Each structure stands twice: as C-alpha cells, then as structure tokens.
Amino acid sequence: MGVFAFLPLVLPLTAWPIARLAEQHLHPRTATRLLTAVAAVMAACSTLCLALVMVVGTAQLPGNPLPDGWSDPEVRAAVPYDEVVGKAAIPALCAVLAACARTLWRHTRVRRRAHRALAGLPATGVAVLPDETPYAYALPGGRRDRVVVTTGLLERLRPAERRALFAHERAHLTAGHHRFLLTVQLAARANPFLRPLRTAVAYTAERWADEEAARHVGSRRTVALAIGKAALVSRGIPAPTLAGFAAPGPVPRRVAALLGPEPAVRRWPSLFTAVGLAAWCAAAGTAVSAMSSANAAVTMVLILHAATPL
C-alpha cells in the first residue's frame, strides 16, 4: 500500500484541468454544482487521510490517549507507519480544523452583523441604503433573505439595468449560492490544492446568476451593461485580485460571456469533439482520483475499526 494512503492529499491537483474546462465550456449551473461536489468530496477524503496518518503514526507513542490497537503490526503492514509523518500530521490537522472553524465563524459573524445593521428598516426583500458608495450584494438569511443595494449604484443604472441587478441578486438567494461558496471555501481551507476550485466556483456562481438575470429581463445585453457599469463605478473599492495579474479578471469575462451566445443546457459535450474529449478525460481523472481518495480513506477506517478491541 505504502504511498497510497498519502494520495488523497495530493490528488486534488488533478481537479485543476476540470476546473478550467468546466468554467469555460459547461453551463454555469452544471459547472457550479459539479465543481462544488468535487471539492467537497476531495476535501473530506484529504482530511480523513490526514487524520488516519496521524492516528497510525502516533497511536503507540507513550502518553497517547488513542487505543494501542490502532497501530498494531497488521495495521502498520497495511498502511504506512511513520512516526515523523504521523507527528507532522498533528499540526497539519490542527491547522485544517482551526482554519475551517475560523471560516465558519467569520461567515456567520458577517451575516449576523449585516442583518443587525439593517435592523429598523422595513422587512422587505430589498434594502435600499442612502449611500454614495456604489455596491450591491445578496444577504442570505433564510426567510430574511435580502438584496442590499445603495442609492449610489441605483442612480447610475437605467431602469432595465436595475431590474437586471435585482434579478441577479435574487438568483443568488433563490439558488442558495452562499452554500456553494461556503463549501468550496471550507474545502480550500482543508486542502490548499483545492483553491483553484474555489476561484472557479466563485466565478461560475456569478455566471449562473447572470444567466438567470438575463432570462428574467429577457436581454443578455442589458445584464452585460449593468455589470459593466457597476464595475466601472465601483472602481474605488479595493479589488481582491492580484495586482499585475495578466489574465482578465472575472468581470470582463462575465460581460464577454453575456455578449456571446447563451450557453447550452446540455449535461456534457459530445465525446467526438476536441473539447468534449478533454472534458471527458478531465472528468474521468477527477472521478478516479476522488474514488481512490475515498477508497483509501474507507480502507483505513475499516482496518482501524477491525483492529480496535471492542
């Protein structure tokens, strides 16, 4: 078995090509769901394997609270037993858990604070704030779902573009995009190799809402104009992008996509085109890596379960 147990830690690398391809060639809705699922599975497997490497590597160290049976000779024969790696896995696992807890905590804190800031306003689905700074976002909160938008942004858009803006934000809330975003956020914390998936899902979720908005207002061009104008007037807001990064940022890509043809709602491209072949290969690679991750994790759980004296 040997190195097999460590594979789930590095296999997320194989998800990079599919993230690129799905982002460019799949319908944004399919891409968002697919990439989020892949990220969640791979993050869970990677964390599980990290925990098991730690358990097997450290269960027989003196003063360890874990059952000695978890590191029996049979277990060590089947999975890599390494004190150094086992010990190194302890801080790694702690870091993963702390980072995930921090992300969750911050997520709930921002949502709570934003809702509290809106206390006192009528409980409507849209909160218009008298503020010169142009911004708009969807604030999820179950029945208290709200679209927050400032007068500074609204007065720079034409009526049709405002409808596009509201349709976009409502699409975020209706489809529960914050859950996808939180999932990939946590996955990226669990395994840094999954970060490209987080970036990809952040983009495809916006594209998904853009397409919904375009369907709602009946014009892709109007949505494109609304996004373009909003981006140009919000320039002052610090960009979370890397300075000097050569590739075009998400906003121009979204506008360009909306000015292009509507994406097809097919599940998968045909196998007999170059794009289709590449997508299928990438998907197969991801599936295999996810399955081997899961396989390694399940095998180790079973071994440890069998070795645990009950």
Partner 1 sequence: MTERRQGSRRRGQGELEALVLSALGEADGPATAGWVQERLGGDLAYTTVITILTRLLAKGAVTRERSGRSFAWTPASDQAGLAAHRMRRVLDAESDRGAVLASFVTGLGPDDERLLRDLLGRAGHTGRTHSEGED
The yes or no reply on residue 141 touching partner 1 (CB under 8 A) is: no
- Taking CB under 8 A as the binding criterion, the range among 19-27, 56-64, 92-100, 231-239 that sits at the site for partner 1 is 231-239
**Would you state the structure tokens that stand for residue 233, as one six-digit string?**
């007037």
Minimum CB distance to partner 1, residue 175 (Å): 11
- Taking CB under 8 A as the binding criterion, the range among 34-42, 90-98, 233-241, 298-306 that sits at the site for partner 1 is 233-241
* Angle (CA) 294 36 38, round 5°: 25
The yes or no reply on residue 250 touching partner 1 (CB under 8 A) is: yes
The yes or no reply on residue 218 touching partner 1 (CB under 8 A) is: yes
Q: How far apart are alpha carbons 145 and 176 in whole angstroms?
A: 10
Q: φ, ψ for residue 147 (rounded to 5)?
A: -105, 125
Selected from 1, 98, 121, 271, the binder of partner 1 by CB under 8 A is 121
Selected from 73, 84, 142, 235, the binder of partner 1 by CB under 8 A is 235
The yes or no reply on residue 237 touching partner 1 (CB under 8 A) is: yes
Q: Where are the alpha helices (DSSP H) in 59-129?
A: 73-78, 83-117
Q: Considering only residues 175 through 204, tell me which ones interact with partner 1, judged by CB under 8 A.
A: 177-178, 181, 185, 202
The yes or no reply on residue 165 touching partner 1 (CB under 8 A) is: yes
**Would you state the structure tokens that stand for residue 113, as one six-digit string?**
């604070």
Minimum CB distance to partner 1, residue 16 (Å): 20
Minimum CB distance to partner 1, residue 157 (Å): 10
Burial class (CB in 10 A: 0-12, 13-18, 19+), 306: exposed
Q: How many CB atoms lie within 10 A of CB 63?
A: 4
Contact 2, 80 (CB under 8 A): yes
The yes or no reply on residue 72 touching partner 1 (CB under 8 A) is: no
The yes or no reply on residue 30 touching partner 1 (CB under 8 A) is: no
The yes or no reply on residue 101 touching partner 1 (CB under 8 A) is: no
The yes or no reply on residue 110 touching partner 1 (CB under 8 A) is: yes
Minimum CB distance to partner 1, residue 142 (Å): 16
The yes or no reply on residue 248 touching partner 1 (CB under 8 A) is: yes
The yes or no reply on residue 37 touching partner 1 (CB under 8 A) is: no
Contact 226, 164 (CB under 8 A): yes
Minimum CB distance to partner 1, residue 67 (Å): 39
Cα–Cα distances (Å) from 19 to 15, 54, 125, 211, in that order, read 6, 30, 34, 19
Cα–Cα distances (Å) from 272 to 102, 263, 303, in that order, read 46, 19, 43
Minimum CB distance to partner 1, residue 185 (Å): 6
